[in-house]
Amino acid sequence: MRSERTQVGIVGAGPAGLLLGHLLQREGIDTMILELRSRAYVEARIRAGVVEHGVVGLLEEVGAGERLRREGLVHRGIELQFAGERHRIPLSDLTGGKTIVIYGQTEIVKDLIRLRLDSGAPLRFEVSDVSLHGLDRERPAIRYRHGGEELELVCDVVAGCDGFHGISRASIPPGFLSEFSREYPYGWLGILAAVAPSNDELVYAHHERGFALLSLRSPTLSRLYLQCRPDEDLARWPDERIWEELQLRLALPGWTLREGPILEKGVTGMRSYVCEPMRYGMLFLAGDAAHIVPPTGAKGLNLALHDVRLLAESLVDFLGSGRTSGIDSYSDRCLRRVWRAEHFSWWMTQMLHRPENQEPFDLRLQLAQLRYVTSSEAAATVARGELRRPLVSPAVEEEPTTLGCAGR
C-alpha cells in the first residue's frame, strides 16, 4: 500500500467538501479531496436551488461567486398559495433588504471543481473502498483504492463531508453519538422541465391533493415538485400525469402553468436528522454527513456551507497556530444554527403537506397558521426584531430564510 501525506483529508466532493478544500487551500493548508463518484456524475446531480444571502456573500468573498453573480436569479420574495389564493411574503422588506439567489447546487459544484482543478490541488474522483483509521489518535488515516492501486492518506485531520449515506459518520464507534431523527410520511417527486418558469417567484402551494412547489433554475428551466409517498414508484408517473397533477395543485384563476419537455425526474424521501457532537477525535463532520432537513425549508445546502466556513476557520487556527478553542467549539457552534434550521424545516413541512387521512381539525390548524404567516403584522415585526439582535459572531448570523421572516 502506497502512503501519502496531507494536512486535511476531505471525504466527499459535494458542496461541503469542495468549499472546505477551497477555503483551506487559500490559507496555504494542504488538502486532498476523495470522491466516490465520477466528475460527470457529481456535476449532473440535481439538488438544491436556493442560496441564502450569507452564503452568496461567502462564495463571493472567497472567489467562488463570479458566475453565481452573473447567472444567479435574485429573488426578493416568495409566494404561499392556499385556499385558492396566492400571498406574497416580501422577504427583502422583512429582512432589511436581504435577498435569496436561485442558482443550482450543481452549478456551485461545477464552479468549485473548476477552481480546485485550476489551482492544481488534488481531487480524486472514482475512489472506492474508503475506510477511516486511528480517528482518536494524532495521525488518522484514510485508506482507499484509486485506479487499481491501494493507498493510504495520513492526515492531521479528517473532514467527513460525504453526505448522509457516507462512511465518515458510520466510522464513529457505536454509542458515541447521540442521534435525533424524524421520518415524514411524504416524498417529493421533482422534475426539471425545459420551459420558461410560469411565475417570477417561488410558489409553495398547500392543496387538498398534497403540497406542490414551483421553482426554477434559469429563464428557460423550470423545477417543480409534488408531494407523493416516500416510496413512490416513478413508473406510475408518466409525464402527462405529472403535469396533470401539477396543474391541479398549482391552479389559480387567470394564471397558467406552462408545460414543456421533462428532462429529469426523481423521488426523494423526507427526513430530519442530527447527530451530536459533529466531531470524534480528529474526525470532523460537516453538512449532510451530520444533519439533514426536509427540503421544504431550502436549508440543507446553506447549512452545509456554513458548517465548512466554521470548520475552515477553526482548522486554520489549529493547524497554523496550534490553538484548539476553534476546533473544540466547532460542533456546538454549528449545532446552534442546525437546530434552528431543523425547527424551521419541520415547521414548514408540517404546515404545507397533507397527511393521508388528515383530520379536519388539523387541516384547519394548517390554514390558520398559513393565514397568520401571510397576514400578521406581528409575525413580521418579530422577524425584523430577531434580525436586528446583536450578533453572537458573524458566523452564526441570523439569516432570512425562504420563509423564515415569519412565523417562527
Binding site for ligand PHB (CB under 6 A): 48-50, 202, 215, 223, 295-296, 298, 402
CA–CA distance, 147 with 158 (Å, rounded to integer):
22
Q: Look at residue 223 and give the partner it binds from ligand RFL, ligand PHB, none, a contact being a CB closer than 5 to 8 Å depending on partner kind.
A: ligand PHB
| Residue ranges of E strands in 26-172 | 31-34, 50-51, 73-75, 78-82, 85-89, 100-102, 123-124, 128-133, 141-146, 149-154, 157-160
72 or 300: whose CB is closer to ligand RFL?
300
64 or 161: whose CB is closer to ligand RFL?
161
Residue 163 lies near ligand RFL (rule: CB under 6 A)? yes
Single out the segment in contact with ligand RFL by CB under 6 A; choices: 59-67, 161-169, 249-257, 372-380. 161-169
Length of the chain, in residues: 408
Single out the segment in contact with ligand RFL by CB under 6 A; choices: 42-50, 72-80, 192-200, 235-243. 42-50
* Least Cβ distance, residue 148 to ligand PHB (angstroms): 38
Q: Which of 391, 397, 383 is nearest to 95 (CA)?
A: 383
Q: Look at residue 305 and give the partner it binds from ligand PHB, ligand RFL, none, a contact being a CB closer than 5 to 8 Å depending on partner kind.
A: none
* Least Cβ distance, residue 130 to ligand PHB (angstroms): 28
Residue 400 lies near ligand RFL (rule: CB under 6 A)? no
Single out the segment in contact with ligand RFL by CB under 6 A; choices: 6-14, 257-265, 277-285, 377-385. 6-14
Which residues are within 8 A (CB) of 228 and not within 5 positions of it... i.e. 6 or more apart?
A: 186, 187, 188, 189, 210, 237, 267
Q: Which three cell numbers stand for residue 269?
A: 424521501
Query: CB–CB of 242/191 below 8 Å?
Result: yes
No. of H helices and E strands in the chain? 11, 21
Q: By CB under 6 A, what part of segment 277-296 binds ligand RFL?
A: 287-288, 295
* Least Cβ distance, residue 361 to ligand RFL (angstroms): 30
Choose which of 111, 156, 162, 232 interacts with ligand RFL (CB under 6 A).
Answer: 162
With cell 485506479, the residue in question is 147
| Residue ranges of E strands in 64-198 | 73-75, 78-82, 85-89, 100-102, 123-124, 128-133, 141-146, 149-154, 157-160, 178-193
Choose which of 6, 105, 227, 374 interacts with ligand RFL (CB under 6 A).
Answer: 105
* Least Cβ distance, residue 348 to ligand PHB (angstroms): 8
CA–CA distance, 116 with 105 (Å, rounded to integer):
16
Listing DSSP states for 11-29 in one string gives E--SHHHHHHHHHHHHTT-
* Least Cβ distance, residue 35 to ligand RFL (angstroms): 5
- Amino acid identity, residue 119? S
Q: Look at residue 296 and give the partner it binds from ligand RFL, ligand PHB, none, a contact being a CB closer than 5 to 8 Å depending on partner kind.
A: ligand PHB
